[in-house]
Amino acid sequence: MPHRWMMRKAMQSYWRLTRSLTLGVQGVIFDDANRVLLVRHGYRPGWHFPGGGVEKNEPLRTALLRELEEETGVRPSEDPQLIGIFANFAAFPCDHVALFLVRRWQRPTVPKPNAEIVEQNFFSQDELPIETVPAVHRRLVEIRENSPADVNW
């Protein structure tokens, strides 16, 4: 645990010096059984939607496609739908998350576990792992119920 905390703090310090705003992308991916794909990182606790940071001069869609393939092997077969952009200020000042729904996709390969993504799996929405982060629960309810999204991650 101390290693994760130190790594996250070092990354945040670097980002604070090099960026006035940080932006990430994440994808909601369902399989044919309506199970959701979640990942567990090596550097932070909990289960999350797959995704990551947007690089300088990188469009959101490009960042999403890159992150999904790197982390999970998923390649969208059609344009992902933007669900919303959320403030993630509790985790890091000036951080935002752009969330996309990926309806059609293919997965030619599944990356092996590594230091960044130690585990990935599809889960039934009513049987999510206990360590699933609250934002995933909120977003899944909003998607399922077609309800207005909270602006906070």
> Is 36:50 a contact under the CB 8 Å cutoff?
no
pLDDT, residue 55, reads 93
The total of structural domains in the chain comes to 1
Distance between CA atoms of residues 46 and 39, nearest Å: 8
Residue 6: per-residue pLDDT = 76
Parent domain of 51 = 2-145
pLDDT tens for the chain, 153 residues long, are 567 777 777 777 776 666 578 899 999 999 999 999 999 999 999 999 999 999 989 999 999 999 999 999 999 999 999 999 999 988 778 889 999 999 999 999 999 999 999 999 999 999 999 999 999 999 999 999 999 999 999
**Is residue 44 assigned to a domain?**
yes
What's the CA gap between 114 and 120, in Å, rounded?
11
Spatial separation of the C-alpha atoms in residues 103 and 76, rounded to whole Å: 8
Does residue 88 fall inside a structural domain? yes
Residue 150, in any domain of the structure:
no
In a domain, 19, yes or no: yes
pLDDT of residue 2: 65
CATH number at residue 74: 3.90.79.10
**Residue 76: inside a domain:** yes
In terms of Cα–Cα distance, which of 50, 39, 25, 57 is closest to 105?
A: 50
Question: What was the pLDDT predicted at 16?
Answer: 62
pLDDT of residue 17: 65
